[in-house]
Amino acid sequence: MESWDTSTGKMSHSLTQPASLQGKVLATVGPTVLQAQPDPTETYVAFLSAEGKRRTSGILFGYPTVRGDRYHQVFRMSDGSEVGKPVKLKVATDRDSI
């Protein structure tokens, strides 16, 4: 797990839809991709997606947010195939996403 924390990969996604890798659209569980991070060897990439659609912040200078549960998924960078099953991260209230 340490290696994921020290990753400085080139890939960066922020509130995009849909997720893609080398021109191939990936089947993320949530339609809105919040973040993507490759491992240091650039063998795998982890995606965090959300159920809801992008919405603007109610706070001046606030960041856009999404509602709904989050999903963590890992894909191979070589062919875009999914590794394992998605992990659902339950969001109980809007305050959980602040």
Query: pLDDT (tens digit, 9 = 90+) per residue, 1-18?
Result: 344 444 444 444 444 557
In the prediction, which pLDDT does 54 show?
75
In the prediction, which pLDDT does 72 show?
96
**Cα–Cα distance for residue pair 92/22, rounded to 1 Å:** 34
Query: pLDDT (tens digit, 9 = 90+) per residue, 19-73?
Result: 777 778 888 999 888 888 999 998 999 999 998 877 776 777 766 678 889 999 9
Strands (E), the chain: 20-21, 24-25, 32-38, 44-50, 54-55, 65-66, 70-76, 82-89
Cis peptide before 18 (omega within 30 of 0): yes
Give this prediction's pTM. Answer: 0.71
**Cα–Cα distance for residue pair 86/28, rounded to 1 Å:** 9
Q: How confident is the model at residue 75 (pLDDT cuts 50, 70, 90)?
A: very high
